[in-house]
Amino acid sequence: MAAELNARPVGGTETSWCRAVPGGTGITVLAFLLSKSPKMLNLQTALHKIQNSHPILSSRLHTNPKTNTFSLVTSPTSYVQLKSFNLSSTLNILETLANPSNRSVSPLHLICEHELNENTWQHHNTADPDQDMFFASIYALPGTTWVLVLRLHVSACDRTTAVSLLRELAGLMSGRDEGKEREVVVKKKIGNKGEVNLGIEDLIPSGKANKGLWLRGMDMLSYSVNSLRLANLKFKDNKSARFSQVVRLQMNRDETQRVLNGCKARGIKLCALFVAAGLIAVDKCSKHRLDYKMKYGVVTLTDCRSSLDPPLSDHHFGSYHSAILNTRTTKGGETLWELANKTYKAFASSKNSNKHFSDMADLNFLMCKAVENPTLTSSSSLRTSFMSMFEDPVIDDSSDVQREAGMEDYMGCASVHGVGPSIAIFDTIREGRLDCICVYPAPLHSREQMQELVDNMKKILVDCDSNV
């Protein structure tokens, strides 16, 4: 009875993540490079404090095998499985990941990739249908350094949650006790749904998600038919088992400021400029003729917290992002800023029309159908778009607190090798420097191929002043 009172069915968006995660899309990873020896008891205490402040991190995902449905069940006690790998174990793991394409990749980078592919949710145990949502691991490295990794199910942890989790953990580890504020659980009069935060669908303002049956049917048909006509980055190997890999795009302060100033002067957001650079770069990598038109799918993820009813703060953990899918056509002769302006206008128009709410159910349904029927996608690749971006970058100016906690560097992203884009970009501006974690499905795409794509994107962005 207690479990029933502290449980609720997952919402539509959460359901799509629950369907996607077993295949390898939707595993959030935060990996920290530490220069201070982590005290296991203190770290465990810090993680428990964060769980106590945010009930969804203590919840378990319950699977009903008869109906193939999911529920979130609040655990009465906070508990996170904290694994520890000594130096020998860590080196063995790194050795298994060693290959020519990984020679220049740091241990932090490799461990982040390793954790992206540790899929705790891949197989349902019928004897124990409840699964934890939150895991933590410590890896010892040579030279008195360590990597701390937090791994979470995306239905409990979108990017905003991951950023808040980073800040709270850094505060607790530095002694500033940033995790002491307890999250206020939002409830609405829609039945007894327990103490787990409500899903995004239950908080959409009245009328914002309305769509007539005929219009919904037409939109569903349009999305599904158009997806078959979208171009993709060339696939290298669409037969072998897939896993997620990462390439990193970093800029210095001057380069970052030049890019941001260009966006500000034109009244567009960084996401549009990134998409434009990506589209120009993919055409260059694919060696299309200048007069050859190509149509690509682009997904922009927007944090809906501030526009929900009631509005939520960044302190509310869970999955509250929604997607807007647009198609962009590239043709020879377009400049970077011209394509960026068109991209931003299309996105802004869709958002002003509330498509991030009204199309939510349609895109969730199509995502689940793609998971169940890979042949619906090009070459059974499960690629639903060329690129995904967030509407706004993360602004991280908390390096002082992170250094006090011994955090020298970090990487945060989510896996995409099940269903999703060819490249998912997680952008952060850290102390004025742009740092992007770009995740892609391997070996569908190779590291060399994606490194070339990202290098071309960076060159296009750095040269943005000349691309007018």
The 10s digit of each residue's pLDDT in 106-151 is 999 999 999 999 999 987 665 568 899 999 999 999 988 999 999 9
Comparing 171-175, 249-253, 264-268, which segment has the lowest mean pLDDT? 171-175
Tokens of 13: 């968006």
pLDDT band for position 65 (cuts 50, 70, 90) = confident
Q: How far apart are the first and last CA of the chain?
A: 65
Q: For position 334, what pLDDT does the model report?
A: 81
Backbone angles phi, psi at 102, to 5 degrees: -100, 5
Q: For position 190, what pLDDT does the model report?
A: 46
Q: For position 197, what pLDDT does the model report?
A: 78
Q: What is the mean pLDDT of residues 150-158?
A: 97
Cβ neighbours for 155, distance < 8 A, ≥ 6 positions apart:
10, 13, 14, 17, 18, 21, 26, 61, 72, 133, 318, 319
Measured CA to CA, the distance from residue 215 to residue 223 in angstroms comes to 12
Q: For position 287, what pLDDT does the model report?
A: 64
pLDDT more than 90, % of the chain: 66
> 397 vs 54, 80, 88, 168, 270, CA distance in Å?
23, 28, 35, 14, 18
Measured CA to CA, the distance from residue 288 to residue 280 in angstroms comes to 10
Comparing 82-96, 202-216, 227-241, which segment has the lowest mean pLDDT? 202-216
Q: What is the pLDDT of residues 311-327, one digit of tens each?
A: 999 999 999 999 999 99
Q: What is the pLDDT of residues 44-61, one digit of tens each?
A: 999 999 999 998 999 999
Q: For position 290, what pLDDT does the model report?
A: 58
Q: For position 38, what pLDDT does the model report?
A: 86
Q: What is the mean pLDDT of residues 236-241?
A: 95
Q: What is the mean pLDDT of residues 298-321?
A: 95
Q: What is the mean pLDDT of residues 94-103?
A: 84
Q: What is the pLDDT of residues 376-406, one digit of tens each?
A: 888 999 999 999 999 999 999 888 899 988 9
Write down the mean pLDDT value for the chain: 88
> pTM to 2 decimals?
0.93
Q: For position 211, what pLDDT does the model report?
A: 75
Q: What is the mean pLDDT of residues 85-105?
A: 89
Measured CA to CA, the distance from residue 319 to residue 153 in angstroms comes to 10
Q: What is the mean pLDDT of residues 208-227?
A: 67
Angle (nearest 5°) at CA 297 between 294 and 300: 140
Q: For position 2, what pLDDT does the model report?
A: 38
Q: What is the mean pLDDT of residues 369-381?
A: 91
> 217 vs 221, 359, 372, CA distance in Å?
6, 11, 20
Q: For position 1, what pLDDT does the model report?
A: 34
| Domains, the chain, ordered by start | 2-174 (3.30.559.10), 205-466 (3.30.559.30)
Does 263 or 228 have the greater pLDDT score?
A: 263
Q: What is the mean pLDDT of residues 187-209?
A: 74
On the question of pLDDT at 331 being above 70, the answer is yes
On the question of pLDDT at 186 being above 70, the answer is no
pLDDT band for position 196 (cuts 50, 70, 90) = low
On the question of pLDDT at 237 being above 70, the answer is yes
Measured CA to CA, the distance from residue 434 to residue 257 in angstroms comes to 9
On the question of pLDDT at 439 being above 80, the answer is yes
pLDDT band for position 215 (cuts 50, 70, 90) = low
